[in-house]
Amino acid sequence: MTVRVRRVYDPPEPDDGVRVLVDRLWPRGVSKDAARVDEWPKVLTPSTGLRRWYHAGEGSFAEFTERYEAELAAPEEAELLDHVRELAGAGDVTLLTASKSPEESHAAVLLRLLDGE
What pLDDT, on the 0 to 100 scale, is given for residue 115? 85
Q: Collapsing DSSP states into helix, strand and coil, what is residue 8?
A: coil
Q: How far apart are CA 8 and CA 25, in angstroms?
A: 12
Surface-to-core class of residue 44, CB atoms within 10 Å of its CB (0-12 exposed, 13-18 middle, 19+ buried): buried
pLDDT per position as a tens digit, 44-79: 999 999 999 998 988 899 999 999 999 999 999 999
Q: Collapsing DSSP states into helix, strand and coil, what is residue 33?
A: helix
